[in-house]
Amino acid sequence: MRRRHTMTRLLVIAALGLPFILPGAPAVAAPTTPPRQLTDVVPAPVETRPDTRGTFRISPLTVILTAPGSLAAWQAGRQLAETLRPATGYPLPVLPVRSTPLPEIALVVGGADARIGPEGYQLDVTRRGVTIRANTAAGLFAGTQTLRQLLPAQIEAPDRQRVTWTVPGGRIVDYPRFAYRGAMLDVARHFHTVDEITAYVDLLSQYKINYLHLHLTDDQGWRIQIDSWPRLTTVGGGPGTGVDGVGPGFLTKADYKAVVAYAAARHITIVPEIDMPGHTNAAQSTYPELNCDGVAPAPRTDTAVGYSSLCINDDLTYRFVEDVIRELAEITPGPFLHIGGDEAHATTDEDYRTFMNRVLPLVAKYGKRASGWNEVAQADPPTDVVAQFWGTGTTNADLAEAAARGNKVVMSPASKSYLDMKYDANTRLGLRWAGYIEVSDAYGWDPATRVTGVGEDAILGVEAPLWSETLRTLDDIEYMAFPRLPAIAELGWSTAASHNWESFRTRLGEQAPRWRLQEVDFYPSPQVPWL
């Protein structure tokens, strides 16, 4: 877990231009990392062309040059400066015009390799400087994340003057395989605060994840303010909620907007999920009228699934659902709204279809594209609905049919990409119903060949869900997500042809010094040669 106040203090110091040691700071030896190569990046870049004559060295004179008049470049440049100033102690001014021929890190919109598309970038390193070219702000941001990994691991340096800030020479041309590279965080089973969510966002953005799906509601808690049904959060998110009654809390609309904005600044789009028609006990125990018999069930703090169902043939249910969707859509700038739909074992198949046929149009009515867990494919949804595969097997007839009709699929097979599964029998946290998932398991599959009849063309992307039945703190989140999250991120970004366990485990091991400095509580898997 990171101590943010430290970063803030260092930013202030960097802004004041004080180049050296903090008074009283302990003299810690600089972590020695071997010289990096252009290929030492996670996710693996599409194309790297090293040029050993081109090594660049960031110095106290280096400037960050952004294309004049480009807001995208200026934003990416400022973010890069804010990351590198405390690490280097150099002033690194962000300048919109080149004045004198100073060594520079230039951020340029346009003029790159034609393949890079909306999210890719081209990074050139010569002796005179670094140039990152992209078509969008997202592409420039992705390029700066690569640049960070090419630099020494260092976020704050008591003795940073001993670090040589070299960048290996050559060219990277890089762009994603899939448009959707997601992570999911369950804030219903145990609530996680804005600070915890944004800390996770920081980590996700370093690995080019571009969607964060928030599982906002479940049987054990309701975690998003809905003004027209206020007790959802005051009661359903109040004291005593969450697994074992120890995960209370909720996001106010202001909190949610803050998360959305924080993520957007890192080119991550929030996908909010309201799980229904099952996984709804928190709502139904708060509002008796949401039950067919008008009787509120007791709140639940256990981890059972599949027992709750909204009342399918009652119009009030759809007034409730519409209110929730409308209010959530209003505060969600991203395109997707996830309506859950998993494990509705207390809803008959016919009722499930009835429910989805009434609810999916409501999502569209408020301008959003619906996504749902793979069960949604059973309801023959319109083709713009995205189905999220979470099975442990390799066949799913409904999903294959939906894919054949044109529905897109997000791949998050539980036995590969579920970050809440234990690594092995000794893992203190997590569940094991989908099996143990070591790093090689999380990395060792191809999204485009996992499920019969769901090929590359049907796949929107991948996601790594993190359910929080057993997780309470940011440290817990980090321990389960690292190092498997970067494995899923690489499957989402890098080409199928580049897939290589030996290469991945080496590059992953090189991330460890960064995680230690960032105080990420990662699982030191024995499969990985940690630096």
Q: Is 40 in the site for ligand TNX (CB under 6 A)?
A: no
Cβ proximity of 412 and 465 under 8 Å: yes
Binding residues for ligand TNX restricted to 190-219, rule: CB under 6 A: none
Q: Is 431 in the site for ligand TNX (CB under 6 A)?
A: yes
For 330, other C-beta atoms within 10 Å of its C-beta total: 11
Binding residues for ligand TNX restricted to 390-409, rule: CB under 6 A: 390
DSSP 184: E
- Closest approach of Cβ 170 to ligand TNX, in Å? 42
Determine the size of the site formed for ligand TNX (CB under 6 A). Answer: 11
Binding residues for ligand TNX restricted to 299-318, rule: CB under 6 A: 305
Residue type, 214: L
375 is catalytic: no
DSSP 228: T
Residue 90's closest CA among 23, 26, 143, 18?
18
Residue with tokens 């989140």: 477
CA-only gyration radius of the chain, Å? 24
Q: Which is nearer to ligand TNX, 223 or 267 (CB)?
A: 223
Q: Which is nearer to ligand TNX, 121 or 373 (CB)?
A: 373
Return the SS3 of 322: helix
DSSP 263: H
Return the SS3 of 458: helix
Binding residues for ligand TNX restricted to 67-86, rule: CB under 6 A: none
- Closest approach of Cβ 486 to ligand TNX, in Å? 20
- Relative to beta strand 129-134, strand 121-126 is antiparallel
- Closest approach of Cβ 402 to ligand TNX, in Å? 16
Measured in residues, the chain has a length of 531
Q: Which stretch binds ligand TNX (CB under 6 A): 103-111, 135-143, 240-248, 413-421?
A: 413-421
Binding letters toward ligand TNX, positions 432-471, x by CB under 6 A: -----------------------------------x-x--
Binding residues for ligand TNX restricted to 335-374, rule: CB under 6 A: 342-343, 373
Q: Is 476 in the site for ligand TNX (CB under 6 A)?
A: no
Residue with tokens 């690490």: 87
Q: Which is nearer to ligand TNX, 174 or 196 (CB)?
A: 196
- Residues in Cβ contact with 393 at an 8 Å cutoff, skipping those fewer than 6 apart: none
Return the SS3 of 209: coil
Upstream peptide bond of 43 is cis (omega within 30 degrees of 0) = yes
Q: Which is nearer to ligand TNX, 184 or 321 (CB)?
A: 184
Dist. CA 266–CA 49, nearest whole Å: 27
Burial of residue 433 (number of CB atoms within 10 Å: 0-12, 13-18, 19+):
exposed
Catalytic one of 343, 375, 456, 478: 343
Q: Which stretch binds ligand TNX (CB under 6 A): 108-116, 122-130, 149-157, 412-420?
A: 412-420
Q: Is 420 in the site for ligand TNX (CB under 6 A)?
A: yes
Dist. CA 82–CA 148, nearest whole Å: 12
Q: Which is nearer to ligand TNX, 273 or 327 (CB)?
A: 273
- Closest approach of Cβ 247 to ligand TNX, in Å? 13
Of the candidate residues 191, 352, 418, 423, the single one contacting ligand TNX (CB under 6 A): 418
Residue type, 45: P
Q: Which is nearer to ligand TNX, 70 or 374 (CB)?
A: 374
Residues that bind ligand TNX in the complex, under the rule CB under 6 A: 305, 342-343, 373, 390, 414, 418, 420, 431, 467, 469
Catalytic residues: 343
